[in-house]
Amino acid sequence: MDAVTKIHKEVQSILSDSRGSHDLDHTERVLKLALHIGEKEGADLTIITLAALLHDIGRNCEDDSNGKICHAEKGAELAKTLLEKHGFDQVMIEKITHCIKTHRFRNNKHPQSIEAKVLFDADKLDSIGAVGIGRAFLFAGEVGAILHNKDSDIPNTKPYTKDDSAYREYMLKLRYVKQRIMTDEGKRLAESRHEFMVEFFNRLNREVDGEI
């Protein structure tokens, strides 16, 4: 069994009790997207594979702390230890952990390498479109949020509370994702996902108001 396969198995174990919005299924989707984009962009697919597999292994720490711990920073720390255990050299480890540290949307660390940009795009693409809508509602349910709150003062609502609805996530983050995508292929994929998501939330508002 090669090192990548061993790490994949360890990630499966680490994420086995994760919340559904950031579970192994999410990681596997990000991996598929990252490999697709990475091939188009001429990136190193080994770095992308490992970075995608490991990008959310710090997520449980963030969830358990109600957002006080940054899962990207924590994930990079955990990934470094795991990669060292499996014999990867420091140059490779630095390239992979850079991808992990910079993959978060709400972060002041920006992807520099093409591999980091690919991971960022793949992770963000999984947060919009049909899948992204599903994940937003799933996360809202996980933290006990209400179904919809379009008339609330969204900028002054708090995460990990009953106000942390899918609509809050859309207003504060998801509608801005498309403009943050970095690669050409990522931008192409983002177009239809963004349009679908915008129409969904517009329709949701109309239905809640009894217009449809």
102 and 131, same domain (yes or no)? no
* Predicted confidence band of residue 183 (pLDDT cuts 50, 70, 90): very high
The residue among 46, 80, 108 that closes a domain is 108
Mean per-residue pLDDT, 196-201: 98
How many folded domains does the chain comprise? 2
- State pLDDT tens for residues 45-79: 999 999 999 999 988 777 778 878 888 898 899 99
Tell whether 114 is covered by a domain: no
12 and 69, same domain (yes or no)? yes
DSSP calls for 1-33: --HHHHHHHHHHHHTTTS-GGGSHHHHHHHHHH
Q: What pLDDT score does 17 carry? A: 85
Tell whether 77 is covered by a domain: yes
- State pLDDT tens for residues 1-10: 699 999 999 9
Residue 15 belongs to domain with CATH number: 1.10.3210.10
Q: What pLDDT score does 178 carry? A: 97
The residue among 73, 108, 143 that closes a domain is 108
102 and 4, same domain (yes or no)? yes
DSSP calls for the chain: --HHHHHHHHHHHHTTTS-GGGSHHHHHHHHHHHHHHHHHHT--HHHHHHHHHHTTTTHHHHHHTTT-S-HHHHHHHHHHHHHHHTT--HHHHHHHHHHHHT--SS-S----SHHHHHHHHHHHHTTSHHHHHHHHHHHHHHTT--S--TTS-GGG--TTSTT--HHHHHHHTGGGHHHH--SHHHHHHHHHHHHHHHHHHHHHHHHHTT--
* Residues 177 and 128: beta-carbon distance below 8 Å: yes
Q: Which residues, other chains included, contact 110 with Cβ-Cβ below 8 Å and sequence gap of 6+? A: 102
16 and 90, same domain (yes or no)? yes
Domain that holds residue 37: 1-108
155 and 192, same domain (yes or no)? yes
- State pLDDT tens for residues 97-139: 999 999 987 767 899 999 999 999 999 999 999 999 999 999 9
Give the distance from CA 195 to its chain's centroid.
19
